[in-house]
Amino acid sequence: MSVLVKEKTEMQHQLREAHETGELRERHIQSIQSELADRNGRLMRAEAEMGAARHEIEKLNAMVRREGDELERCRRECSEWQAKAWHIQQDSNDAQVRLELFIAWN
Q: What pLDDT is attached to residue 42?
A: 98
Euclidean distance between CA atoms 63 and 69, whole angstroms: 10
Indicate whether 58 pLDDT > 90. Answer: yes
pLDDT band at 32 (very low <50, low <70, confident <90, very high): very high
Domain boundaries, the chain: 1-79
Euclidean distance between CA atoms 34 and 28, whole angstroms: 10
pLDDT in tens, 69-98: 999 999 999 999 999 999 999 999 999 999
Exposure on the CB side of residue 42, measured as CA atoms within 13 A:
6
Q: Is the pTM higher than 0.75?
A: no
Exposure on the CB side of residue 51, measured as CA atoms within 13 A:
6
Euclidean distance between CA atoms 100 and 89, whole angstroms: 16
pLDDT in tens, 2-17: 887 888 899 999 999 9
- Looking at the chain, the whole-number percentage of residues with pLDDT higher than 70 is 100
Chain centre distance of CA 94: 59
